[in-house]
Structure 1
């Protein structure tokens, strides 16, 4: 077992502002935007002229002390219109961004996380909006409602919402399939908390980049509308200044410079700042494990009174994907304090059976059972909230891949504390104390260090111990372990099995151990159910399975193991080299 790496806190967790300021280009972009914003806000202090104040004597006036940038084609002060026009452009760009994310953000988040009919309906609405000609819609709204350019920017925000929707939906679809999101569900965390803690941090990075792009596009479109003469005459804007400059391009071409430079620098700085933020956030393509639509769950009967000490009753469980049935008529029971080994080769339906109990099957799966009950509660009849309340508190889960089931964005301590605060109602301090005690109980030599660490800072064996601690943290009555030692080396496997056995006996938990390793079965299981092609072909006490297996498939599995087999003979050595090597 490897100790925690002697490393400081992950550099990727530095504050975003600090990382962004390390990029010289980002600093320049921030300075330009800050200058534009400050100058626009301070316009009344920097000029004595109102933006719409016209003096015919100042028509096309040259630069002077009274008019630092000269006068335009109708005698208005260019500097005043430039500063107040910055307000119009900044407010318009901000409005477009806010509306686009207010409309597209929640739609994308809900559609990506829940899918189903809402996703189909939202996708249809988005496609309709994208098919509408944006400029024509803005012209119609401005003609019918108001000539105010801000109204046009609100309409533009709605029209650009589909871009935000598609971006956020794609990001959510990617992260919602991660194994650590499944682990959060198994811990009993609700959808709102999962979205807030695990999904939103992934969505933020592309959203920031998209916001800067929408802002830049909005400023450009607003300027185009004003250039065409749309908008209120009293509303100063960079586009209107370009229109006036174009009219007088032969007599005063310098008028094109000021609004063109202001608009170009603002758009360029916004776009480049988005790229710098993307680099600072270190966005990468997330890994995806496909799991698309809600599972169809039906039960033949309602809850029944459980037998004494009976934790789990499964009768006639069937799991199908379309026409293909992967679990067919499985029936098992688990008593309190009993360890049931679910054994079979890959593809036999072991994990599908375990996930049916947990309610974690893929959305396209159809689950039926004559009876699927935990302590008398019919699991297939539970609502999502009731199932979340049961996970973690009633049924714990130890996954197969330890590193994939820990969220890399959060410290290990946070991931242990959160389920305990929800299920046990502990304060943050009490949950922290219990988490440290559990880390020590599972054999971690420096619990405080591991508590403060990120998943990448610990070894695979240490991560598996962390997941075991998390699985028993809310005192479940049934523990489901899906190939808990597959990804570990032999020495760590033995340590983890000893730990699981001692915790099971200490807490008198029932346990389902999903495995294909008969050595693990012999070490820890009381009873064994052997699965082949989705069916239970033999179920008996562990001693009987090893002493007198009753099914040909069971005997074949036992004969396939290396334990107790003859040692490998000496390797044959060829008399001559296979290939002569000459200099």
Structure 2
């Protein structure tokens, strides 16, 4: 297996590959370009660049030696040959600021480098392998984190003497647990992913897997953490030297702050210059960390520069002659902005309607736009999704009026739960493990229907019984992990009908269930729909489910509607080649393969 993989654009909601015929690869703007487009990042880079240049060119730019003392020029104000004045020993402040930048920035880099050298490799190994090394590393980091950093640094200074470099090495060791925990947590979150298993199966060594597949996960957080750590290291180093614990012969900003503070009443400006330098550099590191976070971690959250159309004060009346439809979707188009500019359309020109007491199935393969259409009706599209065209009307009112680029949440909020309900396809992941089944059902009824706690509990038991759960009282007291997947799906169905909705949208409600439980759940849905007379949209890729429960069917391919009609007509005489292809992919009527053990003796001999 090759390590180079072709990346396809995922469906923004469903996770499926992009439909055939649409662009499958997204040309992302590089993190560097995104950083340079961020004013905050540009400001940080400029400030740190100037500080770095000052440190590198200090020998050229400084007018005096930083330790040259002129006792005849003590505490001079700014001006003349001393641009920023002199300190209490007659040393030129501008020269000491330039040389101080060198020592201060190098000390910050040293602390961050030591922390990374210890925390990053140990976090990678502990997160990937676990075992005894993970336990030992955790124990060690817990001890280091329990140590008071300032007291440790004071003890080191007392034992070794005033050394900026030794202090920063020790401080880097004390900072390493942060890198360790950050790295370990990130690695543990991906070490069991399928692509890591595939790399193992393909024969790649652990070192190669960690370097190529695991390290990329922690790279962005480490860079952001380092920007923050450098600012912290500068503040700690300056604090130690302000307390008089640094080497007075080494020009640093902290030593200058200490000298300026002692003479604050004689020459206040001597304290101002190093304080400004420290504040600006630390602030630049903070800005850089935030800008890096935006450029490295938020690449998916792209925003298209567009002018939104003005919202209408009054919503236009719905299309004449369609008021009797419970739901009508007209020429719906859904698009997503791309990092390089432009839009990618995932649903285009979809039109259908749903009447009361009717089940309409939306069928298509993964990536055909089924879920995007359903989520458009429910107002559950991602924030960056755009309704690029069309309209959605529900019971005589617009949810999306022509010309609007999204569902009106103000119009949708009163409908959710009460008149519009949703059944998701993953039953276990949609139940909060911290609450009982009874709480999941009762609380919405208290909120939406205004029922008392006792009445809501009684109705919850009735709902559980109506969906075929044999012991409603016991199930209501259970937590989600204590029930099966089939029962969890029944609970979600009970929750969907709890507030007597007019329309239910079921997004592949039987996909995660085995065949026997699928049939039972479909029986429950069919019985409830017939008894309550509600409309239903069933999103599925299985024509067998459509034949079992639906009245009409809508077939989608590549985000477009290719065929629709009543189920009997579509199943018996489909007009579109794609529909015929979907029907031919079903297993019904296929000749099963002959088992090898049941083959003729001559066939067995050939097999040998």
Return the TM-score normalized by structure 1.
Answer: 0.50
Return the TM-score normalized by structure 2.
Answer: 0.48
